Amino acid sequence: MPFIEVRAVAKSFHTPGGTRHVLRDVSLEVEHGEFVSIVGSMGSGKSTLLSVLAGLTTPDAGSITVAGEPQRGLRSDSAFVFQNYSLLPWFTALENVRLAVEAAFPHLLRDEQRGRARMALERVGLGAALNRRPGQLSGGMRQRVALARALATQPQILFLDDPFGALDALTRETLQHDLTQLGSGESGAGAGSTAGPVTTVMITNSVEEAILLSDRIVPIVAGPPATLGDPIAVELPRPRSVAQLAHDELATRTRAHVVSALTASMRATRDRREQTRAAAAVVARNVTSSAEARVAVAEEGR
């Protein structure tokens, strides 16, 4: 049985302009310890899907089970890393991480919570910035704090909402490397370390990032409403590097496969929109013709 199992999930939102259908018939299976990336263009419904998977948003239809149990809200053994850091600006980096540890392990003494938070920050290279507030940190350092905060709670499941999308290329590559090390379960035990491989679901706009980090890539078929395409296995050996992917033949084939799936999805979406516009134009012409005919009949009657 898959660790995470999603079956026929749908989600829509009510807006002043009417109901907006975002997701339809979404099904997905994620094995324990697997890293799955959901790749798609901006506005395709990726963030909504991740919120539903994480339990932050309730689906309108379908089911989600984790370890065989129905999902009911955000689980205590999961963590979420947002793109915008979501740090409390009046607390230091250490306190931001300690608060997350306190929520996950309320039985620990304050000093134990602080020690666990300190080790997590040291593991992401922020041992010298423990007492800095978010306003005193660069964007890359803030995202390191967010990553340390998530992993300090020893989650079984990690949800990543395009966490490196707003960073420069060099910082992004460094943090991607950190993530592969921190989430692998191979970095040792101790406070702030993970107990084993972390099951990770990430959404991203970057095919390169997905190939670098993932065991499988799932293209999102753009809507509205959106659904998921067929998973694509990433069979490249680990560890991986950006330089290696640039010249690896298997990476090139995987990249082409993902891009082809996304391109086909975008083309189908464009065709549907053009058909919708054409149908609307036909209706408008018919309405105009009908109105003109009524006017002509009225004038003849005079």
**Residue range 222-280, pLDDT digits in tens:** 766 888 888 999 999 888 888 888 888 999 999 999 988 888 755 555 555 555 455 55
Neighbours of 1 (CB within 10 A): 9
One-letter amino acid for residue 166 of the chain: A
- Tell me the CA end-to-end span of the chain in Å, nearest whole number: 78
Give all strands (DSSP E) within the chain, no chain letters. 4-15, 18-30, 35-39, 61-66, 69-70, 78-81, 157-161, 199-204, 216-221, 227-228, 232-233
Q: What is the mean pLDDT of residues 209-222?
A: 90
Going along the chain from its start, the domains and CATH numbers come out as 4-77+155-266 (3.40.50.300), 87-154 (no CATH)
pLDDT of residue 227: 85
Angstrom distances, CA of residue 15 to CA of 10, 22, 43: 17, 12, 16
Assigned token pair, 215: 């065991």
Contacts of 298 (CB under 8 A, 6+ apart): none
Instruction: Kindly state the percentage of the chain with pLDDT values over 90.
Output: 36
Buried b (16+ CB within 10 A) or exposed e, 16-39: eeeeebbbbebebbbeebbbbbbb
pLDDT digits (tens, 9 = 90+) for 14-64: 888 888 888 889 999 999 999 999 998 777 778 889 999 998 899 999 999
